[in-house]
């Protein structure tokens, strides 16, 4: 019981870190509220490195996700006839939106994402929440910037979900062996 309580506290810390990091990524991009793509970036920042390993498992550069988001926006604008110079899409540049205060706010899809992440965690029990779980959950969304960014990188979202799940299982086995 103590172990389960301790794991819940650690998961709360991970979720807090994830939300704050996603908000920082959104703010740096000039957005007030984080989207799913910001949570993918935040998962890549987590110290467990499982989200990074999932990208690498597919032969993709995890550090290329941010550039792929910018490419996605550039392509979307181009598809409606707006040709933007590279410097106008400054995804990841310092923004002028300060971090929020009060209740945490996010885009609508993030609320569904957090619910799916919580449901996934309830099934998983005492295993720690990892960046790979965040990535697996994000890959489950058919629509949105994150899924279109995976496609921009040449990654099928189901393949990303499978790679993330495999990394989470691998980390779970490593943890079990060390216990």
78: helix, strand or coil: helix
Q: Place 63 in a pLDDT band, splitting at 50, 70 and 90.
A: very high
Reported as a single tens digit per residue, the pLDDT across 21-45 is 999 999 988 888 899 999 999 999 9
The pLDDT assigned to 102 comes to 45
Higher-scoring residue by pLDDT: 18, 177: 18
CATH number at residue 27: 1.10.1780.10
**Rounded distance between C-alpha atoms, residue 117 and residue 136, angstroms:** 9
pLDDT, the chain, mean: 84
Report for 47-61, 62-76, 111-125: range of highest mean pLDDT: 47-61
Reported as a single tens digit per residue, the pLDDT across 134-173 is 999 999 999 999 999 999 999 999 999 999 999 999 998 8
122 by Cβ neighbours in 10 Å (0-12 / 13-18 / 19+) ranks as: exposed
**Rounded distance between C-alpha atoms, residue 62 and residue 70, angstroms:** 14
Residue 116's nearest CA partner among 98, 134, 95 is 134
Report residue 69 as tokens.
């988001």
User: For a pLDDT cut of 70, what percent of the chain falls above it?
Assistant: 84
Residue 91's nearest CA partner among 73, 109, 110 is 73
The pLDDT assigned to 106 comes to 62
Higher-scoring residue by pLDDT: 77, 50: 50
143: helix, strand or coil: coil
For the chain, the domain total comes to 1
The pLDDT assigned to 77 comes to 73
For 5-38, the DSSP string reads HHHHHHHHHHHHHHHHHHHHHHHHTT-SS--HHH
The answer to whether residue 1 scores a pLDDT higher than 50 is yes
What's the domain range around 89? 2-178
Taking residues 96-103, what's their average pLDDT?
Answer: 49
Q: How far is CA 66 from CA 37, 42, 44, 170, in A?
A: 9, 11, 11, 26
**Helix and strand totals (H; E) in the chain:** 8, 0
Q: Place 176 in a pLDDT band, splitting at 50, 70 and 90.
A: confident
Q: Place 99 in a pLDDT band, splitting at 50, 70 and 90.
A: low
**Rounded distance between C-alpha atoms, residue 44 and residue 8, angstroms:** 21
Taking residues 121-144, what's their average pLDDT?
Answer: 87
Q: Is 105 left (phi over 0), alpha (psi -120 to 50) or beta?
A: beta
């Amino acid at each position: 019981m103590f172990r389960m309580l301790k794991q819940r506290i650690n998961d709360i810390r991970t979720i807090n870190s994830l939300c704050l990091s996603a908000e920082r990524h959104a703010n740096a991009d000039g957005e007030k509220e984080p989207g799913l793509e910001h949570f993918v970036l935040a998962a890549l920042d987590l110290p467990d490195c499982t989200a990074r390993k999932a990208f690498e498992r597919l032969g993709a550069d995890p550090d290329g996700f941010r550039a792929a988001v910018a490419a996605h926006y550039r392509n979307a604008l181009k598809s409606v006839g707006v040709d933007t110079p590279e410097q106008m899409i400054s995804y990841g540049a310092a923004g002028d939106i300060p971090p929020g205060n009060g209740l945490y706010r996010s885009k609508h899809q993030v609320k569904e994402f957090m619910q799916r992440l919580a449901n996934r965690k309830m099934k998983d029990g005492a295993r720690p929440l990892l960046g790979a779980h965040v990535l697996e959950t994000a890959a489950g969304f058919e629509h949105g910037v994150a899924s279109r960014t995976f496609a921009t990188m040449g990654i099928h979202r189901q393949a990303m979900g499978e790679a993330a799940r495999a990394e989470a299982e691998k980390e779970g086995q490593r943890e079990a062996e060390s216990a």
